[in-house]
């Protein structure tokens, strides 16, 4: 049976990113199609709890229409993703895409593959995300789907710290939206373009410190320097990267030597800072020699190493040395920088990447939540809302200004 004209108009409004007009068109219609459209509209507005309720009701009432039920389930996948459960969303997105393809809905199947790609981004599996987007792009896509695919490519590039690629992907998204306008996607693209140029860290080099946006970090990473990244706790030179997030003492030694470069650091000063002690004894000095030996071994391939000098230890490097620093020295700033890509992180994952304890990470996260910088979500049916007192050990955290696109599955339904 064909859908009423009002519902068709509502579907077209959703395709253009106008959820308020779509809700007006749906009105009080409680049919499976009406509930599906209402749920998608709520999702576009960001009210994920209402969206989930409407879509679950739509699934229960669409037994006689397998295609509509599959579309409603697909929209539920995006609600799950927006609620901070990317692992669950990735699993269900694959099943939803396969179901839609079997029913002949190639368009929404492609959208689900893009949802899968976004879930992979949030899970940090960038290669899998790239493959998912590329598999979609080989098909015959309309301009609106190409815009979404380009936006996902931009998210991947941002997460990989490749802002030049992100800017090119956003330009492709704008070009596609010129043929298929979408209000929500246009705002998302604009917000991401602004984020690319926002200073997110500072760079110390040659005794001077300057603010740095993603483009400055990208340029520095590709330049002929040894970069000591105090935000992600790693060392980078050319194509060689040495992760040190799980080796806090070794990273502390490297950071002190890098900040003093090309000068040396006195042995006792280096031990006091790396081991966080006030008085250095013979045991600390012996441990310092052992830890520096471990650091020297790890840095093999970077054309740099800590070596002994007459007045202490110096970082001997064939390249200039630069240090990437968070905006401030507190742990909250470091965690806020990691969260700035819009991904959903667990407290444990943030602690490991920042090189701090889980308790320290939770304390810093609570400060960010109270300041409104970060939002917390709980696995299950709780939407992403600020929580001043996070307690659940299963929660996920993401930037309050997340750049991820709003759910928009099943753009057109007839």
18 has pLDDT over 80: yes
- Band of residue 339 on the pLDDT scale cut at 50, 70, 90: low
List the domain boundaries for the chain. 5-196, 201-324, 327-399
| Matching fold, domains 5-196 and 201-324 | no
- Region 89-112: mean pLDDT is 92
For residue 82, what pLDDT is reported?
Answer: 83
For residue 315, the cross-strand partners are 306
CATH class assigned to 327-399: mainly alpha
Give the DSSP per-residue string, 76-133.
HHHHHHHTT-HHHHHHHHHHHHHHHHHTT-HHHHHHHHHHHHHHHHHTT-HHHHHHHH
Does domain 5-196 fall under CATH 1.25.40.10? My reply is: yes
> In b/e form, how buried is each residue of 255-277, taking b as 16+ CB within 10 angstroms?
bbbbbbbeebbebbebbbebbee
**For the structural domain made of 201-324, what CATH number should be given?**
1.10.10.10
Query: Which has more pLDDT, 218 or 367?
Result: 218
Q: 371-395 pLDDT, tens per residue?
A: 666 666 554 333 333 333 333 344 6
User: How many beta carbons lie within 10 A of that of residue 138, not counting itself?
Assistant: 7
Residue 136 has pLDDT above 90, yes or no: yes
Task: Give all strands of the β-sheet with 201-205 in edge-to-edge order.
Answer: 208-212, 201-205, 320-325, 225-229, 234-237, 240-243
DSSP-assigned letters across all residues of 204-241: EETTEEEEE-HHHHHHHHTSSEEEEETTTTEEEETTEE
Q: What is the mean pLDDT of the chain?
A: 82
How confident is the model at residue 354, as a pLDDT? Answer: 62
- The neighbour count for residue 78, using CB atoms within 10 Å, is 31
Q: How far apart are CA 397 and CA 193, in angstroms?
A: 23
410 pLDDT more than 70: no
- pLDDT reading at 342 higher than 60: no
The better pLDDT of the pair 221, 354 is held by: 221
Residues 349-377: pLDDT tens digits? 677 666 666 777 777 777 777 766 666 65
Q: What is the pLDDT of residues 311-322, one digit of tens each?
A: 899 999 999 999
Q: In this predicted structure, what is the pLDDT of residue 257?
A: 94
Q: Residue 102: what pLDDT?
A: 94
Average pLDDT, stretch 149-164?
Answer: 91
Q: Rounded to two decimals, what is the model's pTM?
A: 0.74
What pLDDT shows up at residue 406?
Answer: 41
Q: Is 398 left (phi over 0), alpha (psi -120 to 50) or beta?
A: beta
Q: Which residue has the higher pLDDT, 44 or 412?
A: 44
Section 171-193 average pLDDT: 90
263-274 pLDDT, tens digit each: 999 999 999 999
């Amino acid at each position: 049976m064909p859908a009423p004209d009002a519902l068709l108009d509502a579907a077209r409004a959703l395709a253009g990113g106008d959820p308020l007009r779509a809700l007006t068109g749906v009105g009080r219609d409680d049919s499976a199609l009406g509930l599906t459209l209402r749920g998608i509209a709520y999702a576009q507005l960001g009210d994920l709890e209402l969206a989930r309720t409407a879509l679950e009701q739509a699934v229960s009432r669409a037994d006689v229409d397998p295609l509509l039920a599959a579309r409603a389930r697909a929209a539920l996948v995006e609600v799950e993703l927006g609620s901070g459960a990317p692992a669950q969303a990735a699993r269900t997105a694959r099943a939803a895409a396969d179901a839609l393809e079997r029913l002949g809905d190639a368009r929404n199947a492609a959208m689900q593959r893009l949802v899968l790609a976004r879930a992979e981004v949030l899970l940090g599996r960038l290669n899998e995300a790239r493959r998912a987007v590329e598999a979609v792009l080989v098909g015959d896509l309309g301009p609106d789907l190409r815009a979404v695919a380009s936006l996902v490519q931009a998210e991947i590039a941002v997460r990989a710290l490749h802002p030049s690629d992100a800017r090119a992907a956003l330009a492709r998204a704008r070009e596609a939206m010129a043929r298929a306008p979408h209000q929500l996607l246009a705002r998302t693209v604009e917000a991401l373009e602004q984020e690319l140029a926002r200073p997110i860290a500072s760079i110390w080099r040659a005794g001077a410190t300057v603010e740095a946006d993603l483009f400055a970090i990208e340029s520095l990473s590709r330049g002929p320097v040894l970069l000591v990244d105090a935000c992600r706790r790693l060392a980078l030179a050319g194509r060689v990267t040495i992760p040190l997030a799980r080796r806090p003492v070794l990273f502390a030694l490297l950071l002190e030597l890098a900040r003093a470069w090309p000068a040396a650091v006195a042995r006792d000063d280096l031990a006091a800072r790396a081991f966080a002690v006030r008085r250095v004894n013979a045991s600390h000095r012996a441990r310092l020699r052992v830890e520096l030996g471990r650091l020297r071994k790890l840095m093999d391939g970077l054309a740099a190493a800590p070596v002994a000098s007459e007045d202490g230890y110096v970082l001997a490097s064939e390249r200039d040395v630069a240090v990437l620093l968070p905006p401030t020295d507190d742990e909250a700033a470091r965690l806020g920088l990691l969260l700035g890509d819009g991904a959903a992180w667990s407290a444990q994952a943030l602690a490991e990447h920042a090189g701090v304890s889980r308790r320290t990470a939770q304390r810093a996260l609570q400060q960010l939540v109270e300041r409104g910088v970060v939002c917390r979500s709980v696995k299950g049916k709780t939407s992403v809302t600020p929580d001043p007192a996070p307690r659940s050990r299963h929660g996920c955290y993401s930037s309050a200004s997340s750049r991820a696109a709003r759910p928009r599955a099943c753009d057109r339904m007839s």
